[in-house]
Amino acid sequence: MSSRGILKGKLFYSAVIAVLLSLQIGCAGFKGKQYHDLNTPTALGGDQTLILGFLGGFERWDDESRGVRKLAIKIDALKFPNVHIETLENRKRDLAIKFIQNTFDRDQNGFLDDWERNSARLILYGHSLGGAAVVEISRELKKMGVPILLTVQIDSVGLVYDDHIIPSNVKRAANLFQNDGWILQGEDEIEPENPNKTKVIANIKFDYRDKNIDMSSLSWERRLFSIPHAKMDADPEVWATVEQMILSEIVDNTDQILARDKSLALPYALCLPRSPMRNGKNGTFLAC
């Protein structure tokens, strides 16, 4: 196909996705999360970790039916010391940047010095447009010199932003996706901008052709137009995998993870820090 044909295809694809996502607005409104809604104290101490999750579409930051928010509530309930977690709408990128800067501006002088930047402990994860927002925010933080411990993209959909190349300020990155949808398909492979600085630990494909997922809580338009994409958001296996990735980054001793969350069977978290993985069958990791 010619480059013009490819461009037209992408524009049409993006327009269709935008229309479908707009159906999710409903009564949610556009105001979204405000700075005063954030619960994490600023500024944090040097040994504390901030986790930010970004929801997809026009979903509200506090929508407890969405995987991003469910996971945040679960991790918060585990009460790990020195760990703080927040969720935001994917369009609240400016708010996220301002909050991150204030969180690690430990002397509160309005800018980040070398020590504050280098000691920042930050994890970003997001679903759909939230996954693409994770990559775009990472690029903005690179300009500020802020490192990121881990990014996790879940069926990432980049309408405007490139969610394929992971910037070099990200230490570790993971990508979970499906390509069964006839309209909405996630980014199928992420790559590091600089392999010497960023380790891609996983590109994991989930197959929903024959996988039954409870969709009863989803709106009719999500069930009708974006079934595999919506199934991934509702799939407990997906979010257990993301949880293990995040906890493996913030907890050195896996016994601590098992002690706090007995629902996790931990072969994944035990091997995540060491071995890159890609394209396991039916959403499972390849062996370490």
Q: Please give the pLDDT value at position 15.
A: 56
- Reported as a single tens digit per residue, the pLDDT across 95-143 is 999 999 999 999 889 889 999 999 999 999 999 999 999 999 999 999 9
User: What angle in degrees, to the nearest 10, is found between the helix axes of 129-144 and 93-104?
Assistant: 40
Q: What is the pTM of this model?
A: 0.82
**Alpha-carbon Rg for the chain in angstroms:** 18
- Domain range summary for the chain, segments of one domain joined by +: 3-27+47-283
What is the second-level CATH architecture of the domain 3-27+47-283? 3-Layer(aba) Sandwich (3.40)
Q: Say how many C-beta atoms besides its own lie within 10 A of residue 152's C-beta.
A: 27
- Reported as a single tens digit per residue, the pLDDT across 229-280 is 888 999 999 999 999 999 999 886 555 555 666 666 544 443 443 334 444 4
- Reported as a single tens digit per residue, the pLDDT across 206-228 is 988 888 888 777 666 666 655 88
For every residue of 24-79, DSSP letters joined together read: T-TT--S----GGG--S-SSPPTT-EEEEEEE-TT--TT-TTSHHHHHHHHHHHTT
Q: Where are the beta strands (DSSP E) in 194-267?
A: 199-205
Whole-number Å distance between alpha carbons of 130 and 84:
19
